[in-house]
């Protein structure tokens, strides 16, 4: 499987675990989709912690998938699923905590920015970033609005999305896009669980309504963007031989 999922103390811990970089596959998206439905529907579940196995949270979506689409319909179908899951993650009524155990790039960064609170291990070798612009990829409506929301300022957007360079967790903390740094993986999970409980375990669970109010305008922008989106742009991107060639080179390098 491309993920692990356990429930501890009524908190869902979803761990990316596929290949060298914990790539997010179709299977991963479908599993996360089901977990988000459970969080919506099961009162006893308190929240969600996203983390990864080993040295990565996630290095992004599975490039083997990106380089093997059969036709335009398959490309659109895949991204419809991806956008739906990213939207549901962003609007999940329960607390979502990103427990950044290692490198978080591309989709690994996007799911972090979709979270309510980001805690990272303070290790100088951990790299973060959005390198899509350098390999010929833009962002989809949900991805773009999530990054805009999470990065908070136009300067951060320019520094992270448009430069396409990697940076460290201390810089992310200094930029205000990561909330807390810890020294060990054990402390990371302890703090993540404690944050879920702190946010949700109050009389009447006002967090749920506060989060809805906080994110409502962005959620509406995502839905509007998806209605107006020209899906043919995605087909053009993922049938462009130069882009596919670059993606195959990156895939070979990380394999």
Determine, yes or no, domain membership for 252.
no
CATH number at residue 89: 3.90.226.10
Predicted confidence at residue 254, as pLDDT, reads 85
- pLDDT per residue as tens digits for the range 144-199: 999 999 999 999 999 999 999 999 999 999 999 999 999 999 999 999 999 999 99
- pLDDT per residue as tens digits for the range 29-65: 999 999 999 999 999 999 999 999 999 999 999 999 9
Predicted confidence at residue 150, as pLDDT, reads 98
**CA gap 13, 211 in Å, rounded:** 20
Q: Is 108 exposed, middle or buried (0-12, 13-18, 19+ CB in 10 A)?
A: buried
Determine, yes or no, domain membership for 11.
yes
Determine, yes or no, domain membership for 253.
no
How high is the mean pLDDT of the chain? 97
Determine, yes or no, domain membership for 20.
yes
Predicted confidence at residue 21, as pLDDT, reads 97
> What pTM value is reported for the model?
0.97
**Structural domain boundaries, residue 68:** 3-186+194-200
CA distance to 78, 186, 205, 216, per residue, from 24 (Å) = 12, 24, 31, 26
Predicted confidence at residue 191, as pLDDT, reads 98
| pLDDT-above-90 percentage for the chain | 99
Determine, yes or no, domain membership for 107.
yes
Determine, yes or no, domain membership for 37.
yes
How many domains are there within the chain?
1
Predicted confidence at residue 157, as pLDDT, reads 98
For the cut 90, the answer to whether the pLDDT of residue 255 exceeds it is: no
- pLDDT per residue as tens digits for the range 75-105: 999 999 999 999 999 999 999 999 999 999 9
């Amino acid at each position: 499987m491309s993920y692990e999922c356990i429930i501890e103390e009524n908190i869902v811990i979803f761990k990316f675990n596929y290949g060298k970089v914990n790539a997010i596959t179709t299977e991963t998206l479908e599993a996360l989709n089901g977990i988000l439905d459970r969080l919506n529907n099961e009162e006893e579940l308190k929240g969600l912690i996203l983390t990864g196995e080993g040295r990565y949270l996630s290095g992004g979506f599975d490039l083997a998938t990106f380089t093997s689409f059969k036709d335009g319909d398959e490309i659109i179908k895949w991204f419809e699923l991806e956008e739906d899951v990213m939207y549901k993650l962003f609007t999940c009524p329960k607390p979502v905590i990103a427990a950044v155990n290692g490198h978080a790039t591309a989709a690994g960064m996007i799911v972090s920015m979709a979270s309510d609170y980001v805690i990272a291990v303070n290790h100088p070798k951990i790299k973060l970033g959005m390198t899509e612009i350098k390999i010929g990829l833009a962002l989809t409506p949900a991805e773009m609005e999530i990054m805009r929301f999470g990065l908070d300022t136009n300067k951060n957007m320019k520094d992270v999305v448009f430069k396409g360079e990697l940076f460290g967790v201390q810089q992310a903390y200094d930029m205000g896009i990561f909330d807390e740094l810890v020294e060990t993986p054990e402390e990371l999970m302890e703090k993540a669980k404690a944050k879920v409980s702190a946010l949700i375990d109050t009389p009447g669970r006002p967090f749920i309504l506060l989060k809805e109010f906080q994110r409502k305008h962005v959620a509406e922008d995502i839905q509007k963007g998806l209605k107006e989106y020209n899906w043919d742009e995605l087909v053009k991107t993922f049938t462009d031989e130069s882009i596919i060639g670059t993606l195959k080179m990156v895939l070979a390098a990380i394999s």
